Amino acid sequence: MGPVWNDGHKGEPELLAHCYRNSLRLAAEHELASVAFPGISTGIYGYPKKEAATIAVHDVRQWLAAHEFPQTVMFVAFDEESRRLYEQELQP
């Protein structure tokens, strides 16, 4: 479960990053080849989509550079806006 957005004043960025790192750690412990993430907390919890995409891509890239598993991470976009935001973040 991701953090509820409270205007960024209650440690939401670190809590969201922890969600991704913890999930990746579990995937690695189970030697999963792939994992897919939705936009954690961007629905009813109100986390801004752009900020959430930035955190997700940053933390996943850091993890993949330092760990063998998972080998593939997919981001699941539920709307066009989210797809575009993830694509922008994934640019080199």
Domain contains 4:
no
b/e burial code for range 34-55 (CB count within 10 A of at least 16 → b): ebebebbbbeebebebebbbbb
| pLDDT computed for residue 46 by the predictor | 97
pTM above 0.85, yes or no: yes
Domain contains 49:
yes
| pLDDT computed for residue 1 by the predictor | 84
Could you read off the pLDDT of 44-84 as tens digits, one per residue?
A: 999 999 999 999 999 999 999 999 999 999 999 999 999 99
Parent domain of 33: 12-90
Domain contains 2:
no
Tokens coding 57? 């891509």
| pLDDT computed for residue 92 by the predictor | 82
Could you read off the pLDDT of 7-52 as tens digits, one per residue?
A: 999 999 999 999 999 999 999 999 999 999 999 999 999 999 999 9
Number of domains in the chain: 1
Domain contains 18:
yes
CATH of the domain at 21: 3.40.220.10
